[in-house]
Amino acid sequence: MYQQFGISDKIINLSKEVEKEVEPVFEKIQKVCEYNSLKVLKAFQDNRISDMHFNQTTGYGYGDIGRDTCERVFADIFKAEDALVRGQFISGTHALTVALFAFLRPGDTMLSITGKPYDTLDEVIGITENPSSLKSFGINFEKIDLVNNDFDYEKIEERLKKGNIKLIEIQRSKGYSTRKSIKLVDLEKVIKFIRKYDKNVIIMIDNCYCEFVNEKEPLEVGADIIVGSLIKNLGGGIAPNGAYIAGKKNLVELAAERLTAPGEGKEVGPSLGITKSFLQGIFMAPSVVASSLKTAVFASRMLEKLGYEVEPKYDEERADIVQNINFNDETKLIKYCQGIQMGSPIDSDSIPEPWDMPGYTDKVIMAAGAFTQGSSIELSCDGPIRPPYTAFMQGGLTYEYGKIGVLKAIQNME
């Protein structure tokens, strides 16, 4: 069958070799998947999920039992006091925006200790001017860069001693940078450190791409609030849009009052029939995340053997589902992304080209042959057209589909 996709014997043979090598890594991924699946099932059973929770409400959405119970399920899985899980959130960016506007007030300072946050937050924060930014409301932003892929403890201490920080944002996944993603042990360590100087500062985690990669989640190591997208890990490829915010009850309430209206909060918001997709999505998520991880591990070893720089290496501990490949060559990056598109179920005959995307300084190429627009829990690959010509690849609803995508991409570079 692989020959029918135009994959050469040379690449097929290499893939057989690689699959043997990565077996112990796959086993570890499977263990985490098993643990997280049990965690999800327990939350479903404890909340006695039944057919009636697939109900839908319209209009104001008062008394939506399905929506409210689905939020309980998410809260239980993430050891949160409460959760807000809504289709009224467009995606992760929107949920992060709502959270920041909900927690911060004029004169407050937000501090990022993982350097500049994700690109789509530039205009939200006001790093790029926008008349609706946090900055336009008089909210200050400061950042401390990572040093050698770790937190800059010295600078963090110095800044916290000066006081007056309302919120610390920690972005676990690397975004479009080439730093490493933040592991849970490192997160735990820095949160303990922060608490020595400030008991009250809100510790908010951008958890995009990291859910279910490990057995524990950030709230279990002391974070106050986590935010993530449902067209990534937790949607399991089934949720058609949406995002979540989970953590301390008072913070979730503030976020709800910002998303809807003060005085209405979580009580409103029609589910419009989306609850079943959210529940089915999170039910599938542990196994879909495992498939994405296996696809990333397979790609990492294949490309390393072909002589490319990869991050992480196949046997490194992972904090997210993203795989970086440095091609150090513009054409190779473009060919690889185009090959990923060719291996997709949707729009496999479209050829992505680099273009000037709003919000980015360099041209970007994006491959995504996905059922859900922009969904990056489905196999997808993108890269800014600048040295070292790095591809950021993530997703894979099943390992089998992920694997053929990677093989097709490698073949396309030949």
Ligand X SMILES: *Cc1c(COP(=O)(O)O)cnc(C)c1O
List contacts with ligand X (CB under 6 A): 91-93, 118, 120, 171, 173, 175, 206, 208-209, 229, 231
Interatomic CA distance for residues 46 and 294, integer angstroms: 30
Question: Which of residues 82 and 206 has its CB atom nearest to ligand X in the complex?
Answer: 206
For residue 323, CA distances in Å to 61, 344, 382 come to: 40, 18, 11
Closest contact distance (angstroms) between CB of 233 and ligand X is 10
- DSSP labels, 172-216: -S-TTSSSPPPPHHHHHHHHHHHHHH-SSSEEEEE-TTTTTSSSS
Burial bucket for residue 3 (CB in 10 Å: 0-12, 13-18, 19+): exposed
Interatomic CA distance for residues 367 and 408, integer angstroms: 13
Question: Which of residues 214 and 229 has its CB atom nearest to ligand X in the complex?
Answer: 229
Question: Which of residues 209 and 212 has its CB atom nearest to ligand X in the complex?
Answer: 209
Burial bucket for residue 211 (CB in 10 Å: 0-12, 13-18, 19+): buried
Specify the amino acid at residue 10: K
Question: Which of residues 206 and 211 has its CB atom nearest to ligand X in the complex?
Answer: 206
Question: Which of residues 173 and 326 has its CB atom nearest to ligand X in the complex?
Answer: 173
Closest contact distance (angstroms) between CB of 134 and ligand X is 16
Closest contact distance (angstroms) between CB of 400 and ligand X is 25
Strands 323-326 and 309-311 come out as antiparallel
Which residue from 379, 93, 90, 323 is spatially nearest to 208, judged by alpha carbons?
A: 93
Closest contact distance (angstroms) between CB of 395 and ligand X is 11
> Taking CB positions, which residue lies at the least distance from ligand X?
92
Burial bucket for residue 192 (CB in 10 Å: 0-12, 13-18, 19+): exposed
Closest contact distance (angstroms) between CB of 52 and ligand X is 30
Closest contact distance (angstroms) between CB of 320 and ligand X is 8
DSSP state, residue 85: E
Closest contact distance (angstroms) between CB of 121 and ligand X is 7
Which residue from 193, 106, 191, 181 is spatially nearest to 149, judged by alpha carbons?
A: 181
Question: Which of residues 93 and 275 has its CB atom nearest to ligand X in the complex?
Answer: 93
SS3 228: strand
Q: b/e map of 86-108 (b: 16 or more CB within 10 Å)?
A: bbbbebbbbbbbbbbbbbbeeeb
Question: Which of residues 91 and 323 has its CB atom nearest to ligand X in the complex?
Answer: 91
Question: Which of residues 44 and 218 has its CB atom nearest to ligand X in the complex?
Answer: 218
Question: Which of residues 241 and 412 has its CB atom nearest to ligand X in the complex?
Answer: 241
Residue 240 preceded by cis peptide, ω within 30: no
Which residue from 353, 347, 348, 350 is spatially nearest to 335, judged by alpha carbons?
A: 353
Here the tokens at position 200 are 């009250």
Closest contact distance (angstroms) between CB of 383 and ligand X is 14
Closest contact distance (angstroms) between CB of 361 and ligand X is 18
Nearest-10 Cα torsion for 52, 54, 59, 61: 70
